Each structure stands twice: as structure tokens, then as C-alpha cells.
Amino acid sequence: MLLQFRIIDELPNNKQYLCLSEDQCLQSDMTPCHKRPKRDTWRETSPSGFYYQGRWRTLQCSNKLDHPVSRSYVNCLRGCHVLLIGDSNLRSWFIHINHMLNMTITTEKINIKWYTTLEAENVKLNASLALAVHANPFYGGYNALPKTSVQSVAWQLDQVNTTRHIVVVIHMYLHLARTIPDEYRAHVKEAKRGIDRLFKRAPNAAVFIKGPHGVTTSSFQAPVDFIRKIQEQILFEEFKNIIDKVVFLNQWDMTAGSASIPIHTNKDHLNNMVDLFLSYFCH
């Protein structure tokens, strides 16, 4: 059944309503996401948002970007160094941001894979971008993963040059879904120590934790809907004393709610994920 609804904007209480009928409405806060307290991102309830005309709309804040969207990327990330630490899902983010900012990749790929650190820059914008993998366990295939590339999140953060404004996105999920919770917690504890050291060197650094996303493909045989709950709980427990400084990016509802199938999200999901991240950073 196709649901018919309407959106009511520009109400005096800065709220937005998605209405299926006169008495069935979802309320959405229209305060820009960058003004939302960071600690609130760790305590979201479901549903956290909805799709409307192909765009993800959060219920807790307004994640609208300027049009064209490429203008938001330029305005937000000018003068910034963006470091992505994770797996191939953040590789997709790297490719997307690199394209939107018209950057030039300054490192060479050693093979068809990407497991060495990738870097890109736009000199005119004084902006740079880097992608690094998190530590083992990281399943990259035979001879695909140089030992020098497999470093902890904390080690990667310690290498950051803080002469530019630092933006960090950390994603630890599917490669660690095959490990026991204690091992995942050890990774999170180490990442937390690295973030603490980064804030001492760069107090204004913007740090984001990219949460798990829905995966329903039969080729990945792990109960990710259960595993993600364990991982999110561990993240919250270990980050509880810095949730005022770090944004948690809820990626579950926008993928599970649309029955996302592949391990690597499709282009529409990717665009919405990165746009959500920017909405929390763009002023």
C-alpha cells in the first residue's frame, strides 16, 4: 500500500510535521543539526528519521544542506583536513568527498586494492582528505594488506598534523563483527585514548563515530542486527565521558528502514549518510 502524506513546515515552534492523517503525525525539530547537543546523538530513539522524495530527514534536527549540495561541501570543508578511519564503507565516503571537492589524489595505489593510506587535496581550498584502515582484524585477502598500513585508530590519530582544522570520522563495524565483544571493546578503548590525546593537541577538532548500518545480504553470514546493538552499547559505555565532544552518526535507521541489502551501501544511501555527517559539521 502506498502511503500518502504531507509535510507541514515553518511552524512558529520551529517544528516540522509529517502527517499521514489529521491525527497521525511525526514531529521533527527544525533546529540545524550543528546546533544540536552532541550528547543527544548518543541517545536517539527509533525511528530517528524518514525518507521524503529520496532524502533522509532526521526527526531531531534539520539536516538540510545548501543547494547545490556541492556548495555545502566547499563551504564546510574549506581549510580542513578530513581523516576517515575504517573500512571499505569509508572508502566510499573518500571517493564521494574527493569528487565533490574536485580533489587530486596525491598517493599511489599499490594495487587494485586500496589498503594503504589514501590522500587527496585541493590546494585552492586548502583542504585535504585521508583514508586509513583500522587495525586487525581486517580481512583484505591474500597479500592485499601491507603490515605498515594496519595500525590502531589511536596510532592514526597521533600522526595527524593539527595545522588545519581537523575533522575525523571513525568506523569500526563489519570486520569486527566476527570477533567477541571483549576484543571489540579493546579496540574502542584504544580509539578513545587516541581521541583524548587528539583533543589535547587540537581542542576544536570535530570527531564523529559512524555507527553500524543495515546489511541483509546472505553473503555476509552474521546477525548484524544483534551485533550492532552490542557494538553500540560498548561504544556508549566507553565514550560516556566525552559524548559532549563527539557526535554519533546513527546510520542504522536510514538503512534498515529501507531494507538495504549490500555490505557496501548504494549511492542513494551513501549520499544521505555523508550529507547527514556534514549537517552536524556545517555552520
pLDDT for res 94: 93
Cα–Cα distance between 129 and 98 in angstroms, integer?
7
pTM score, two decimals? 0.85
Q: Is the dihedral of CA 98, 101, 102, 106 positive or negative?
A: negative
pLDDT for res 128: 97
pLDDT for res 219: 61
pLDDT for res 3: 44
Peptide bond preceding 37 in cis form (omega within 30 of 0): no
Q: Which three cell numbers stand for residue 150?
A: 594496519
Query: pLDDT tens digits, the chain, 283 residues: what are they?
Result: 344 445 555 455 565 556 655 555 666 667 899 999 999 999 988 888 888 888 888 888 988 887 678 888 999 999 999 999 988 788 889 999 999 999 999 887 654 455 678 899 999 999 999 998 877 666 655 555 666 677 889 999 999 999 999 999 999 887 777 888 999 999 999 999 999 999 999 999 999 999 886 666 556 656 777 788 888 999 999 999 999 999 999 988 887 777 666 566 767 888 889 999 999 998 7
H or E stretch at 198: helix 181-201
Q: Which three cell numbers stand for residue 102?
A: 574536485
Length in residues, the chain: 283
**Facing residues of 37 across strands?**
none
Judge whether 116 and 150 are in contact, CB under 8 Å: no
State the amino acid at position 199 in one-letter form. F
pLDDT for res 25: 60
Cα–Cα distance between 229 and 45 in angstroms, integer?
13
Q: Within 10 Å of residue 84's Cβ, how many Cβ atoms?
A: 26
H or E stretch at 247: strand 246-249
pLDDT for res 176: 77
Judge whether 149 and 117 are in contact, CB under 8 Å: yes
Judge whether 168 and 157 are in contact, CB under 8 Å: yes
Question: Any idea where the domains of the chain sit in the sequence?
Answer: 1-30, 69-281
Q: Which three cell numbers stand for residue 115?
A: 589498503
CATH code, 69-281: 3.40.50.1110
Cα–Cα distance between 144 and 88 in angstroms, integer?
13
Contacts of residue 7, defined as CB under 8 A and 6 or more positions apart, other chains included, come to: 16, 17, 18, 19, 52
Q: Within 10 Å of residue 258's Cβ, how many Cβ atoms?
A: 16
pLDDT for res 113: 54
- In which residue are the cell numbers 561504544 written? 235
